Amino acid sequence: MQAAIVISRRTAQHVRLWRLGASRRRRAVNERALPFRQTDFSSRPVLAHWASTDNMDDEVDERVEYITAQSIAEMFPHRKEFQKRDSISWGGRTLDLELGEDVSYEAENSDVSDVLESADDGRALDLGLSPAEMLNRFDPQKPPSMDNLEELQLWLECEAQQEAVLKYQKVIESARKRKDYSSLSLVQRQVLWWFQPLVDAIEKRQKDYIFREKSEGDVSKSAQRFGPFLCTLPPAKLAVIAAHTAIMETLTNSNNSLHGTPFSVIARQLGQAVEDEVIIQRVLHQRYKESQARASVLNVSNILDDEATDDEPENDDVNSSNARDGGFLGEGKIKAAEEDPTKRWTYSTSHLQNYLDELKEFKPKSQRLASFAIWRARQVLENDEQWTERDKIQLGAALFKVLLDCATVKDGGRKGEPAFVFEKRWTRKDKSRAYVTLNEKLRNMVISDRLQSFSQTTTRQKPMILPPKPWTKPKEGGYLWLKSDIVRYHGCDLQLEALNHANLNTVYDGLNSLSKIPWVINKRILSVAEECWARNIAIGDIPSKTDFEVPPEPIRPERPTQKLEKGHPEYDSYISEMRAYREARARYDRMRQRNSDLVSLRCSVVLKLDQADKFKDFKEIYFPYNMDFRGRVYPITPHLSIVGSDLCRGLLKFAEAKPLGPRGLFWLKVHLANFAGKDKVTLEERAAYIDENIDKVRASVEDPFAGDRWWMTLDDPFQGLAACAEIIAAIDSGDPESYMCNLPVHMDGSCNGLQHYAALGRDAVGGKAVNLRNTDKPQDVYSGVMTEVIRRVAEEASQTIDFDTSDVEALTRKQKKILANNRAAKLVDGLIDRGVVKRTVMTSVYGVTYIGARQQIQEKIEEKLESLGCDIDEMNLEVFRACGYLARVTMEVMGQVFTGAKETMNWLTTCARMITQLGYPVAWISPIGLPAIQPYRRKKSSKVVTLMQVVSLIESNDDLPLHSSRQVSAFPPNFVHSLDASHMLFTALEMDRRGLSFSAVHDSFWTHPCDIDEMNMALRDTFVELYERPLLEEQLADWKMRYPDLEFPPLPERGDLDLSEVRSAKYFFQ
């Protein structure tokens, strides 16, 4: 047989050729100048030699790609069928080609058809299933077997909305056939009752936009704006997105207040969810086409057929006048989409075919308008630009309005209650804010169902079962199919531009070394956590299933009908009643808020447990990493990762197990003792503490729910229980040194931010306080601050007030301050311990404000008062004032103790202020080579008219003025964050060079117990090497080069800290 295998390739004029009219594209096909998408063949043998014609068309660059015998031989080295015949038929550029004659190539053997068929599925190259084949075989209802991890990884990344659509349709059909809905869960029954009406209502909305029919309550301009976005997905998929997103947002959103979730948040998230779905389906569709083209590169007939379907029909009255120069969406395009095998589950315009079929019933003008509306929808689908916040909010509001009209909760009766409550509340006379709350019955059903009906749509970013794709470009890495950015740049285009021009090799290598570490689920901890949840044991991150008792809602007293003077009995009575009402209202709102927080915590735990259960049987799972603009590293997965809470960390272990060796058991004991709060004694004393309590450790492992449950008293109970299990298993093995352990052990920095400040300024005093110098016992900077704070508070509380306090209003301002401080000191005296001041000290170098410090301290003080039986609600104002006083004292003490850090911080602040005054954002290059640009801008408020209400949209982009105060105040902590992130990545690279497993959560470094000693050496070496560089001098020189007109202040004077001492500092990380 003869096989015509001449194909062409679109080059620089790809887009222009695509926009040619139907007649020109047909001519191109007839001349066998077949348009072919640009594809990356870098991973394959060289496929083509290039040849170009001398005569260039005005519109088209007729550069043609020909497959030569040599190329085919490289592609199929094991086949002998392709032989070079002569220079005329096999040459690169021939006389026939120059003359425009039709050229074809022949194969001498009829077995060419076999080769073409094998090339089409990709298996002839021994590369396994091609991406096209995998996508062809993708079934959102049936995951592949665990034997084919590549296919299963694809399934996990694609699994989301369409799976839910098919699930609903399948459940409905099955229940209808059986005429029995009793087998469905309560949540399924509720959602299924309004799923089809919701689909129908969304479809009607799409028709209203396409056929210009005005809906009830429609806002014409708004409808025309969100209409194309509403038509990007089929109604069934939009229904699932709307229902699931709205339910999950009302349950888990961190912006929840006691009034519910702000409507603007719901609308924005709905729009974002639709955009996310469009993006991922667009990417999968594009990758399918590219991989299909690679696999079928020799099958010309298939390619020709596919190209032919791209032409608009000549005789189509509706489309012929609109198809040229890009045109409106033609029927041929949609039919081509229908023939795409991915239409079963992925991006497709086939759902718009239904509307084209109805156009014949309309007048020509209406047909043109409808065709234009469909063309706009297609433009949204194919355009890679991000949707604006305005577009997302308007689309989300439209979807939520439909959902609000359709969604009901039925409880026995025929008439249901609204599933969502939309309520406006006035914040002031001329401004209101809308809130959305979930029906309480539906909320309880969802939580009791453990979110099983919604968990698969909460995120696509799940743990991976294959090693993540290595980072090679700012947007190339992480998931195999999903798109990810290497930096979370918060919409700062300057940062993205800088990344594209920077040398990020160190960043790539560091992230890749972290991403390739395999993990497994700790099934023992998962089982215990499941039991805690089932038995309603509130511990660690697992909240109680029982709500707090909410007092009756107080009734506001009526205002007197006539104006009364102060001192009048009725006036005094009204004031007294109002005071009591406000206190009762505060107590009522406080308990409602606590219950609202419980709902979010319950949903968070259920999502973590669900994901752990989903991946528990895999031998290896992986976490792709990226970073924020400062270089701090995070796993991309939102629910389950080592950066999560105690529960998440306890659920994860290294996949690789290694013998404990001579020191592994010792480090396991130190690890457990740290969770028991013994982290301020020597390492040997910590191990001895575990030996003394080994019976409690064993009892915790043998039956976690019997006895005194010692493990539940630990600071991090689930991580502590995991350590208990490994210690007992190692001891019971009879040979602890040979025991194979895969539990990571942590080494944490001692107030790591202050460690970096001390190293920057060579502060010997501050360095000793944070263990940069070798000492016999660990230094505890928190205890040092605590001691001084206790002394000052006790001194203030012992003061005697020497003026009359019976009439506070008559006191002077100075006397009021003295009295307030004295009362505050008496309230908190005796309640201060290390935990009260720890968070404030720890975050002081990261820019904690007075308000933040007061909130941190108030949480601890309230816990202590509640444990003493005090009614926090009744003394809320006194506690608030006392904690404000304690925050001021704590911050004063820190400023005096850490003078070196304060000087460096002040210098950084001054430089940032000077740069900001020129109108530039503060920018620097971190030691790992990451360009960091602070994204803080003044917010711009604009009005967005939606179908529900007018929403105030807060916008932020590079065109807005700088937020000067935030640029200045945030720079010192951001700069230090970039330094601690650099230290962590340098350590990751060094551990990778040594062939050791390593992971980290900022300043907490993890490895196998047997490798702790080596990791301790590595992290100290990299820290010293980092700070042997003149970092501040380098930064000053960089700024002077960029801002030559500025006179920067001189660098702060350095101390005499010897950095080499860090290498022998036993408690630097502990």
Q: Cite the active site residues.
A: 748, 838, 1003
Q: Token pair of 513, please?
A: 């070394």
Lookup result for tokens 């000793």: 768
DSSP assignment of 52-76, as one string? E-SSPPSS---EEEE--HHHHHHH-
Q: Read off the tokens for 529.
A: 């956590």
Which residue type occupies 35? P
Task: Please name the helix (run of DSSP H) or strand (run of DSSP E) that holds residue 634, with its range, or none.
Answer: strand 633-635
By the 10 Å C-beta count (0-12 exposed, 13-18 middle, 19+ buried), 704 is classed as buried
In terms of DSSP H, where are the helices of 296-313? 300-308
- Total residues found in the chain within this entry: 1070
Q: Is the dihedral of CA 270, 275, 281, 287 positive or negative?
A: negative
**Of 992, 999, 1070, which Cα lies nearest the Cα of 742?**
999
CA distances from 382 to 286, 376, 590, 623, 694 (A): 10, 10, 48, 30, 64
When computed from its CA atoms, the radius of gyration of the chain, rounded to whole angstroms, is 34
Q: Tokens 């007197």: give the residue.
A: 560
Q: What is the DSSP pairing of strand 476-478 with strand 950-955?
A: unpaired
**Kind and range of the H or E element at 652?**
strand 652-654
H-run or E-run covering 795: helix 781-797
- The per-residue DSSP string of 882-944 comes to HHHHHHHHHHHHHHHH-HHHHHHHHHHHHHHHHHHHTT---EEE-TTS-EEE---B--EEEEE
Give the amino acid at 286: Q
Strands 633-635 and 487-488: unpaired
Q: Would you tell me the crossing angle of helices 235-252 and 186-210 to the nearest 10 degrees?
A: 130
DSSP 128: -
Tokens of 865: 């008062």
Count Cβ atoms within 10 A of the Cβ of residue 1030 and give its class: 0-12 exposed, 13-18 middle, 19 or more buried. exposed
732's enclosing H/E stretch is helix 717-732
User: Which tokens belong to 638?
Assistant: 């939102």
Tokens of 391: 């577009």
Residues in Cβ contact with 452 at an 8 Å cutoff, skipping those fewer than 6 apart = 185, 187, 610
Q: Are 7 and 65 in contact (CB under 8 A)?
A: yes
- Angle value at C-alpha 589, between 588 and 593, nearest 5 degrees: 120
Question: How far from 475 is each of 98, 479, 485, 490, CA to CA, in Å?
Answer: 42, 11, 5, 15
